[in-house]
Amino acid sequence: MQTKIVSKNFEIPQSHTMDVALKNGRYASLDRLFTNKPQEVIDVISKSGLRGKGGGGAGAAGKWQLASDHDGIKYVVVNADESEPGTFKDRQILAHDPHLLIEGIIAACYAIGSNTSYIYIRGEYEEFSDILQSAIDEAYEKNILGINAQYLVDITIHRGAGAYICGEKSALLESLEGNRGHPRLKPHTPQPEFYFGEPTLVTNVETIASVPFIIENGADAYRAYGTDLSPGTLLFALSGNITNPGVYEAEFGVSMLEYIETMGGGVKNGKKLKAVIPGGASTPILPASMLKDARLDYESLKSLGSALGTGGMIVLDEDVSMVKALKNLLRFYHHESCGQCTPCREGTSWVDKTLDKFIAKTATQEDLEILKSVSGTMNGKTICVFAPAVSGVINGFLKHFENEFLECIV
């Protein structure tokens, strides 16, 4: 069930060092890359159907084209701010194959006409940031990066400092400019992102790490994996009540339950599966009863009323209290709201505190109404998708497990 494209070298000892990376095919795509014109690179990414792997799942090539078409000094910014609870895939690339990431960055820079790239990495990932930095240093020594390289690319690591919201691309750019990480208003027409006013491509670590395979083997080779609409693979992950938590790359479209059984060894301690949060905490929870035909691709999970997100599944067993689980997540969102928009700043605080009453079993029917009403107020009325995601999380729990909340009402 495992298909290794991005994770091919993860288990090779010392895979993060240049010598081992070169022996195992890293930087092999560069020859092919430079025989293409930049536009041809964007075209092959477009044909491959590669979708952004940071959670949104939008077509990757569209962003590349927008940044390419816009005049100005261009930047490629890699989003390594991985902070979505249940998600720990990008760190595997940073720790085990940083040269794959560098190789992909060179391709992205070449394709859109940029010479400067930043990797924005979450502050907590200091250890991985150090590994990545030594890989970058090695690439400079080998003239793969820098002024003496075939194509000039400079890569700078920029450390975040503990703000979940900086994983949102416009907040990330604000942070990279030296500001508080407040998301920006979105344009009404398709536009690239802008770093200090210049056109910028912001993209997730795993998306960029998928590029060398496509350059080297062509779009059809990538399309041979996955489904028509969700081509390729993803570093899916399992955590929570699971026997073998971890990151296991698989093709899009595999059965979720089969993945949980085969890769994860099933629910821990032989317990029954109660529910799965399919793609990071911000995707609506799905009860086990709905998972029979669930497939790990964007379309299947969307049709079930949730989303594939980052592919980081949190598995919940029969003993888990859904009231406590929701409280845990709402405390997270309350802590992480950036505070810019009132519905989010006040709403996350309100629902978090309301949940306390359910935990204490002192809630009233009105509290349940408040929860629903605040959830409605948070949806679609803010600058970024943080608050709508919280709303989706609450609605998911209430839709599938309302009886557990009703039991807490006096």
Q: Which residues bind another protein (CB under 8 A)?
A: 73, 82-88, 91, 116, 122-127, 154, 156, 158-164, 175-181, 196, 198, 237-241, 245-247, 277, 281, 312, 314, 316, 320, 324-325, 328-329, 331-332, 335-336, 338
Comparing CB distances to another protein, the nearer of 173 and 296 is 173
Beta bridge partners of 313: 238
Residue 145 to residue 301: CA distance in whole angstroms: 40
Contacts of 130 (CB under 8 A, 6+ apart): none
Shortest Å distance, C-beta 106 to another protein:
17
* Assigned token pair, 212: 């060398």
Nearer to another protein, 21 or 235 (CB): 235
What's the N-to-C CA distance of the chain in angstroms? 48
User: Cβ closer to another protein: 223 or 268?
Assistant: 268
Give the other-Cβ count within 10 Å of 293's Cβ: 11
Q: DSSP for 63-128, please give it.
A: HHHHHHHS-S--EEEEEE---STT--SHHHHHHH-HHHHHHHHHHHHHHHT--EEEEEE-TT-HHH
> The tokens of 41 are what?
């690179």
Cβ of residue 146: shortest distance to another protein, in angstroms?
12
Distance CA(77)–CA(180), nearest Å, equals 18
CB of 84 to another protein, least distance (A): 8
Give me the least distance between CB of 160 and another protein, in Å please: 7
**CB of 284: closest distance to another protein in angstroms?**
14
Q: With respect to another protein, which residue has the nearer C-beta, 223 or 331?
A: 331
Q: Which is nearer to another protein, 9 or 117 (CB)?
A: 117
Contacts of 194 (CB under 8 A, 6+ apart): 173, 200
- Nearer to another protein among residue 107 and residue 393 (C-beta): 393
**Residue 159: what are its φ and ψ, rounded to 5°?**
-85, 130
Nearer of residues 49 and 264 to another protein, judged by Cβ: 264
Report the nearest approach of another protein to the CB of residue 156 (Å): 4
* β pairing state of 233-240 and 246-251: antiparallel
> Shortest approach of another protein to residue 186 CB, angstroms?
21
